[in-house]
Amino acid sequence: MPKDNASPYIFPFHKRDDYKGTIRFTPVVYTAPEISGANIGAAFRRENGNGVLSQLSNTATDTFVETSNENERFGGGIEFDPQNDQETIVSSAKSIPQFNTGVILYLPSSLRFDDQVSYENMELGAIGGIASAGIKSGQGAVSSLVRGAGQATSSTINLLKGGIADQAAARLAATRLAQKSAIAGGAVTNALAVTVNPNTINLFKSVALREFSFTFKLIATSQREAKEIENIIKFFRTTMYPETIDFDTDADGLNVPIGYKFPDKFDITMRYNDQPVGTKILTSVLRGFQSVYNPQSMSWHEDGKPSEVDITLSFGEERTLTRNDITAGY
C-alpha cells in the first residue's frame, strides 16, 4: 500500500531520535517471467474443439482474440503458434525491494533466532551395523554389505549345526531365528534373556525453515501517531493477502476469480546505532498478522481510533539455510 509521499511508515512517529534501535520491513515485489510462443490455443482446440474457443472468443473478447492468420493471441499478450507446442520464456524473473515503502518500527527488546535440523531414528540391524563399520574402516560399500549379510547368516547356520561355542552368541542366534515367528519370538527372547541390538542411529534428514515472530506495543501519543498505526496495520494486512486472477465473463461485468498472484515477500533488517543486530534474515513471507486493540484499557481518541494496539507478525524464510549461508552472516 504505497504512501502519497513515497516513504515508509514509521512508529514511533514522534521523538524518533530517542530510539536507536530499528527494525525495517521492506516489501519485495516479484516479477514473474513473461511467456511467449506458448501454444495455448492449439492445445485448447485439441482438448475442446474449435467451436469452444470461438464461443469463448465471442463472450470474452478481452481474453481470446481471433485473427485472420494462423497465429493467435491469448490473454492480450501471450502469443502461440499452432505449429509449435513449445513455450518460450522471453524475460527472466525479478525480485525488487521497494525501498520507497514498507514499515520501520522500534527494535523489540527480545529477539529470538531458532535454528533446527531434522534427524530420524534408523535401525541398521546386525547386517547394517556390520556393513556400516566396514565402510567406515575403508572397505567398499557393496563388499561390506555382502560381508555383513554373510556373517549374520552364518551365525544362524552354525547354530543349527551346533557349531557356536560362545553361549551368548548361540542364544542370540536362537533369538534371531525365533523372532521370525510372531508367537514364539517373545517367549524365546524372554527365556534366553538376550535380544538383538537394532543398532539404532540418528540419520540426518533435512533442514527446517526458520520462523520469526515479532510483537510490538503501539501506543499513540497523538492523532497523527494513531493514524500512522492504522496505516501500518492496513499495510501489513494488504501486503500479506494475494491478488486474484479474474476471468472476465463479459456478462454484466461479472468476473470469476480463477487463481491467485503470490503476495509480496519481505526483507527484514535490524540495526542499532546504524549497526547490524543479530543474524541476517533471508527474504521471508508474512505468514500471520495479529492485532489486538486496547489490550489493557478502553481508551479511544475522539475520531474513534484506539490509543493502544498490540501487533504480532509471524514470518518464515523463503528457503532453508546451508552452511554457506551461516558463513555469510545468516
Query: Model confidence over 284-304: pLDDT tens digits?
Result: 999 999 999 988 877 777 777
Q: Are residues 130 and 146 in the same domain?
A: yes
More confident residue, 132 or 74: 132
Please, what is the Cα angle at 56 between 52 and 61, to 5 degrees?
A: 150
pLDDT at 1: 45
Q: Are residues 28 and 103 in the same domain?
A: yes
Which of 36-40, 96-100, 324-328 has maximum average pLDDT? 324-328
The four Cα atoms 315, 321, 326, 327 give a dihedral, to 10 degrees, of -130
Q: Are residues 107 and 13 in the same domain?
A: yes
Residue the block writes with cell 515503502? 101
Q: Are residues 167 and 82 in the same domain?
A: no
Q: Are residues 167 and 123 in the same domain?
A: yes
More confident residue, 5 or 103: 103
DSSP character at residue 81: B
Q: Are residues 249 and 102 in the same domain?
A: yes
pLDDT at 78: 43
Q: Which DSSP string do the residues of 243-304 spell out, in sequence order?
A: EEEEEE--STT-EEEEEEEPPPEEEEEEEETTEE-SS----EEEEEEEEEESSS---B-TTS
- Average pLDDT over all residues of the chain: 77
Q: Last residue of a domain, which of 205, 236, 268?
A: 205
pLDDT at residue 150 greater than cutoff 90: no
Q: Are residues 140 and 26 in the same domain?
A: no
pLDDT at residue 275 greater than cutoff 70: yes
Q: Are residues 255 and 308 in the same domain?
A: yes
More confident residue, 161 or 136: 136
pLDDT at residue 276 greater than cutoff 80: yes
Rounded to an integer, the average pLDDT of 248-274 is 88
Confidence of residue 185 (pLDDT cuts 50, 70, 90): low
Q: Are residues 52 and 168 in the same domain?
A: no
- Checking DSSP bridges between strand 9-11 and strand 103-106, what pairing results, if any? parallel
In which domain, by residue range, is 68 found? 33-92
Instruction: For the chain, give the longest Cα–Cα distance.
Output: 96
Per-residue model confidence as pLDDT tens digits over 188-216: 677 777 777 888 889 999 999 999 999 99
Number of domains in the chain: 3
Between CA 228 and CA 75 the distance in angstroms is 39
Q: Are residues 250 and 327 in the same domain?
A: yes
pLDDT at residue 145 greater than cutoff 70: no
Q: Record the pTM.
A: 0.70
CB 237 within 8 A of CB 286: no
Rounded to an integer, the average pLDDT of 28-48 is 66
pLDDT at residue 175 greater than cutoff 60: yes
Please, what is the Cα angle at 289 between 286 and 293, to 5 degrees?
A: 160
Residue the block writes with cell 506458448? 38
The mean-pLDDT minimum among 81-90, 124-133, 229-238, 315-324 falls in 81-90
pLDDT at 36: 65
Q: Last residue of a domain, which of 160, 182, 205?
A: 205
Confidence of residue 317 (pLDDT cuts 50, 70, 90): very high
Rounded to an integer, the average pLDDT of 135-150 is 56
Q: Which of 226, 217, 214 is nearest to 14 (CA)?
A: 226
Q: Are residues 326 and 315 in the same domain?
A: yes
Q: Are residues 104 and 28 in the same domain?
A: yes
Between CA 95 and CA 251 the distance in angstroms is 36
CB 110 within 8 A of CB 207: no
pLDDT at 241: 96
More confident residue, 47 or 100: 100
Confidence of residue 271 (pLDDT cuts 50, 70, 90): very high
Rounded to an integer, the average pLDDT of 265-287 is 95
Q: Last residue of a domain, which of 205, 233, 257?
A: 205
